[in-house]
C-alpha cells in the first residue's frame, strides 16, 4: 500500500521564527492520525501546508503522490480552526456554497448529517452558538467524498455533549478508503479513534507510533503520554 501523505523534512519559517523544523510524517490509506501538541507547536502550520494554503520553506510533501496544488486540493477536505463561514449565510446557503465549490460534495450526506447534528438549514450562521458552528463546519467538511480529511481542532471550545456528537459523526462517516489527520490538545476525549499518533513540540515530531503499540510499550494512555511529553 502506498502512503496517502508523505512528508519529508518539512521546514517552515515565518520571518526569523522557525515554525517547523523538519517534520517527517506518513499516513496510510484508511488510517486516522492524531497530531498532538500544545498551542504554538506547529500543528496548524503543518496542516496548512498539507492543505495547500501555505508553502513549505524546504522539504517535500506528497499527497496521493502529488505536490500540493489543484489536484491535492480536490482530494483534501480541510477543516480550519478559524471562522470562514459568512455571518449572513443561512445553513442552506453554506451547503450550496460547498456544493458549487467542490465537485465531490455529497448533498444527501450533508442533509443527513445536518439532521444528525440537530441543525436547521434555515438558521443563519450568525445565530449559531460556538458548538453549533463547529458542528456545521464539520458537516460541510465530512460531506465531501475526499481521500484525506484534515481536521484542525474539531473539538475546540465545544461542550461535552456536542463533543460526543462530533466524535460520532467522525466515526460514522470515516471510510476505509480515506484517511484523516486530526489535531487536538483534548487528547482524552478522542484518543480511542486514532490509529497512529504523532506528538509535535516546537516544530518537531518528538514521538510517533501506533496508538495501541504505544499503550503496550509504555503502559500508559495516550493522554498520559501527552502529559509526560509536554509537562
In the complex, what is the shortest distance from the CB of residue 111 to other proteins, in angstroms, rounded to a whole number?
A: 19
Phi then psi for residue 101, to 5 deg, are -80, -35
DSSP 117-132: TT--TTSBGGG--HHH
* Runs of H (alpha helix) within 81-192: 91-101, 107-116, 130-142, 160-173, 187-190
Please report which helix (H) or strand (E) contains residue 12, including its range: strand 5-14
The label of the residue with cell 467542490 reads 102
**Binders of other proteins in range 120-179 (CB under 8 A):** 164, 167-168, 171-172, 174, 176
216 binds other proteins (CB under 8 A): yes
Identify which range of 56-64, 76-84, 146-154, 218-226 contacts other proteins by CB under 8 A: 218-226
Which lies closer to other proteins via its Cβ, residue 105 or residue 226? Answer: 226
22 binds other proteins (CB under 8 A): no
Identify which range of 7-15, 26-34, 129-137, 150-158 contacts other proteins by CB under 8 A: 26-34
d(CA 27, CA 42): 18
Residues that bind other proteins (CB under 8 A): 30-32, 164, 167-168, 171-172, 174, 176, 188, 191-195, 212, 215-216, 219-224
Amino acid at each position: 500500500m502506498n502512503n496517502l501523505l508523505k512528508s519529508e523534512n518539512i521546514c517552515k519559517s515565518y520571518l526569523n521564527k522557525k515554525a517547523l523544523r523538519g517534520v517527517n510524517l506518513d499516513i496510510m490509506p484508511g488510517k486516522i492520525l492524531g497530531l498532538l501538541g500544545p498551542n504554538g507547536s506547529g500543528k496548524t502550520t503543518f496542516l496548512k501546508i498539507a492543505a495547500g494554503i501555505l508553502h513549505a520553506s524546504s522539504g517535500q510533501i506528497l499527497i496521493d503522490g502529488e505536490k500540493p496544488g489543484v489536484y491535492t486540493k480536490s482530494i483534501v477536505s480541510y477543516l480550519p480552526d478559524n471562522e470562514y463561514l459568512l455571518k449572513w449565510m443561512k445553513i442552506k446557503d453554506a451547503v450550496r456554497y460547498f456544493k458549487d465549490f467542490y465537485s465531490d460534495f455529497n448533498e444527501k450526506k450533508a442533509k443527513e448529517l445536518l439532521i444528525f447534528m440537530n441543525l436547521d438549514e434555515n438558521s443563519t450562521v450568525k445565530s449559531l452558538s460556538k458548538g453549533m458552528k463547529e458542528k456545521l463546519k464539520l458537516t460541510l467538511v465530512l460531506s465531501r467524498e475526499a481521500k484525506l480529511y484534515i481536521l484542525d481542532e474539531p473539538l475546540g471550545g465545544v461542550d461535552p455533549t456536542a463533543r460526543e456528537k462530533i466524535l460520532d459523526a467522525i466515526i460514522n462517516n470515516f471510510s476505509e478508503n480515506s484517511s484523516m489527520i486530526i489535531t487536538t490538545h483534548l487528547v482524552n476525549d478522542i484518543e480511542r479513534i486514532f490509529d497512529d499518533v504523532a506528538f509535535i513540540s516546537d516544530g518537531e515530531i518528538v514521538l510517533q507510533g501506533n496508538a495501541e503499540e504505544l499503550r503496550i510499550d509504555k503502559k500508559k494512555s495516550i493522554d498520559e503520554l501527552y502529559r509526560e511529553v509536554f509537562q
